[in-house]
Amino acid sequence: MENQPTTLSVQWVRAETGQMRLISLNGNEVWPFVPGQVAVLGIEGVGESYFAIASAPEDRHGLDFLIRKGEGVSGALFEVKKGDLVQGRGPLGKGFPIDQYRGRDFLLAAVGSAIAPMRSVLRSVSYRRADFEKMVLVYGARRAGDVPFADEMKDWQQSGIEVVLTLSSPETGEWHGKTGHVQEHFREALAALRQPVALICGMKAMTSESRDELIRVGVAANEILTNY
């Protein structure tokens, strides 16, 4: 991978939640990458930071990134508009080598903005759905308004991917679905899967607790994968 930054142009910006936006970037060419890999994005005069690629390698429109409103680079990227320039380096990290597991069942687990690399996986799978067996996504957010890609989740479900959505701090009276942390729903999600490969992404505590729970309910330790 080249260490020299590539100049990327903002093609479009789409609000996903009040605190998250999806931005699509394009340069002279789209980088080849593995679903789940990350890139370093930079804004001149602000700095640079790591962001997971949210689009699939098969997508030809550019590279998508889910940006959470924050300080520094993430704050600057949250405010970009069509035509703005962003410096990018990548891809980096090992990603999720899903092609090594064709014909297998999958459990995907993510929380918050860590849905971004899982979107990359799911979009890639959608291009060759027949290569993979059953797939379940267990996704956790704090409140219903914190869930990005709500419309796309409907498309994933229509393609035969089960989506289990759980909220850790739902608003009183406004949510009648599952509650609690993602790992509390693994046993139920795994009931329909046969010797699944598990992909997990989130903060350190989430990934550690998820890994422990997956092993406890019977997933092989060497088939629990992170993207870094």
pLDDT digits (tens, 9 = 90+) for 5-53: 889 999 999 999 999 999 999 976 778 999 999 999 999 999 999 999 9
What is the C-alpha to C-alpha distance for residues 6 and 35, in angstroms, rounded to an integer? 20
The sign of the CA dihedral 111, 115, 118, 123 is positive
What is the C-alpha to C-alpha distance for residues 182 and 184, in angstroms, rounded to an integer? 5
The pTM of this model reads 0.94
Residue 90, token pair as written in the block: 């990548």
What distance lies between CA 88 and its chain's CA centroid?
19
CATH-assigned architecture of domain 98-225: 3-Layer(aba) Sandwich (3.40)
Taking domain 6-92, whether its CATH number is 3.40.605.10 is answered by no
CB-based contact 175:167 (threshold 8 Å): yes
Domain residues of the chain, as ranges? 6-92, 98-225
